[in-house]
Chain A
Amino acid sequence: MPLVSVPKLTFAQKLKRFFMIDLLKGLGVTLKFNVGALTDKDAVAGKGIYTEQYPKVRPDVAPRFHGAPRLNMDPETHETLCIACNLCALACPEDCIDVIPMDVEVVVAGKPRRKKVLDEFIFDTSRCMFCALCQEACPTYCLELTQDFELATYSRAGFVWNREMLEQGRETVKYEA
């Protein structure tokens, strides 16, 4: 059984230990931060306190963040941008997207035509790994992963978002600062 023998200290090292130089140096560094936290005028913005005061202060999420999914709508007509092409569902490694199209009759240049439009859109956020491959596959910039990050629900079924939720977004409680 190997046992390890730790080396003998030199006299200088012993002296340092006796006067607790090693511990005092460390304490000096920690003390610097304590003093900083206590004396800074605005400790949160300054150097002292680094904790984010979530949920009272909401974090500033980066524009590229991959959060809750959203189906974008045309800002003027308020019609969905989705053309039901199914590319997002094909791009997803986890199969969490179901695009359900329907055929509608439209009149194009006076003639009746059949057109495939979006009927329902199912997005399973419980299996999604927020890799954004679906967002990259979408040709119309319809499906987007937004900056919303609060996705918790009380039930498993709540993780499956339908078209309405994807278009309107989800209500989350906002706390006052």
Chain B
Amino acid sequence: MHQVEIATTQQTVLDSPVMTLNMGPQHPSTHGVLRVILKLDGETVIDLDCDIGYLHRGMEKIAENRTYTMIAPYWDRLDYIAAVSNGLVWVETVEQMMGLDVPRRAHYIRTILTELNRIASHLLWLGTHALDIGAVTILLWAFREREEILKIFERQFGARLTCHAWRVGGMPNDSYDDFEQDVRRFIGNIAGRLDEYETVLSENRIWLSRTVGVGVISGADAIAIGLSGPALRGSGVAWDIRKARPYAAYADVDFDVPLGDNGDTYDRYLVRMEEMRQSRRIIQQAIDNLPDGPVNAKVPKLIKPPIGDYYHSIEGPKGEIGCYLVSDGTQQPWRMRVRPPCFMNLQALKKLCIGHLVADVVAIIGTLDIVLGEIDR
């Protein structure tokens, strides 16, 4: 692994007046409607500010006027790239609040499909990140693999992106007939495909010069800012909720948590690539041990969690996605709060970008893997 040193200099490179530049909100590389106000000295970023909220839909407020069953599809629309894991946070929060006993088969299928979703999310990240940096081929390949996952989602849930995957207490349907076969075929293919991506990218000189040493953040800083997910693990902090507080069937499967050394864009890339391989391992174990049985718990007709509050979080593809729920004993929550991983990760943008060139801002936005639907909610 490369060692990176950070030197500081007080001198501006060019003795030019500071220029303010708006990047976005319609910029294709900001991954949505993000407006970044850059203060530039020549091409070097000396300060930046994010303007968010273009996609605000008031999800948390909407949830106060919906029943617990109705809220689930709204969760898909937070981080629409990872709708299946988002849905899992919501149903698990309600289930744990009500003390429902979800059958093992449902837990296993949930594990398989959320891990598939993690791969799909990382593939989309890889494709767009590489495209931002200038490697167009990877985008097409990543979407080819992602398509296979979306096909599985379509057959299982009836939708490709916003799946509305789970119901409180279990799943809307048991797995479809060829489910195991499809999943096995996919995990059989993906390993070789990941090697292909790495052959093209990992040693490529352009890729290296665009990512190594770009957007460095130390572990301590990452924790202070509140980063989570691959952005945190890229800085070498071993924190993965799948290990720390296992949910679904993660306690039964064996996997490693990849860590980076330098906390730069290249390390976060390696971490995500390795995470996809680990996801493949998890899916392999879960599908081999898939238990039989029902997929739904006994759920009361009216879902009314007991009075009180509860917080539950899972390791989404982007980081810790959590739900804080306050129930007043009625059919609708009194307050629902989303703990958004991308929102927290976006805070690091300023720290990561200062001192880099404008072109690196694009790479850094890509490496943070943000989805504006969830930042703005």
Contact = CB atoms under 8 A, between A and B. Distances in A.
B224 interface: no
B154 interface: yes
Contacts of B157: 64
Interface in B331-354: 354
A85 to B, nearest CB: 16
A26 interface: yes
Interface stretch (B69-77, B275-283, B364-372): B69-77
Interface in B31-78: 44, 46, 66, 69-74, 77
Interface stretch (A17-25, A73-81, A96-104, A115-123): A17-25
A65 B154 contact: yes
Contact of A131 (B73, B137, B173, B214): B73
Contacts of B173: 64
Given A64-B173, A66-B159, A17 B66 contact: no
A62 B46 contact: no
Contacts of A1: 8-10, 12, 44, 46, 354-355
A131 B9 CA distance: 55
B156 A50 contact: no
Interface stretch (A2-10, A105-113, A158-166, A167-175): A2-10
Given A23-B205, A50-B147, A3 B216 contact: no
A131 B155 CA distance: 15
B292 interface: no
B99 interface: no
Interface in B139-194: 144, 147, 151, 154-159, 162, 164, 172-173, 176
Interface stretch (B22-30, B195-203, B230-238, B322-330): B195-203
B7 A5 contact: yes
B288 interface: no
B176 A64 contact: yes
Q: Which of B147, B203, B216 has the most CB of A within 10 A?
A: B203
B73 A30 contact: no
A16 B204 CA distance: 11
B21 interface: no
B4 A7 contact: yes
A111 B16 CA distance: 94
B9 A3 contact: yes
A5 B213 contact: yes
Interface string B204-230: 110001001110100000000000000
Contacts of B216: 2, 4
Given A1-B9, A1-B354, A6 B200 contact: no
B158 A25 contact: no
A92 to B, nearest CB: 8
Contacts of B3: 7
Nearest to A147: B158
10 contacts: A16-B203, A26-B201, A64-B155, A64-B157, A64-B158, A65-B159, A93-B74, A130-B162, A131-B72, A132-B164
Given A1-B10, A4-B264, A6-B213, 18 more contacts: A1-B9, A1-B355, A4-B5, A4-B6, A5-B5, A6-B2, A7-B3, A17-B205, A23-B204, A23-B205, A29-B196, A50-B147, A64-B158, A93-B66, A93-B73, A129-B77, A130-B162, A132-B172
Interface of A: 1-7, 16-17, 21-23, 25-26, 28-30, 50, 61-66, 91-93, 129-133, 136, 145
7 nearest A-B residue pairs (beta carbon): A93-B70, A131-B73, A64-B158, A4-B213, A26-B200, A22-B203, A62-B155
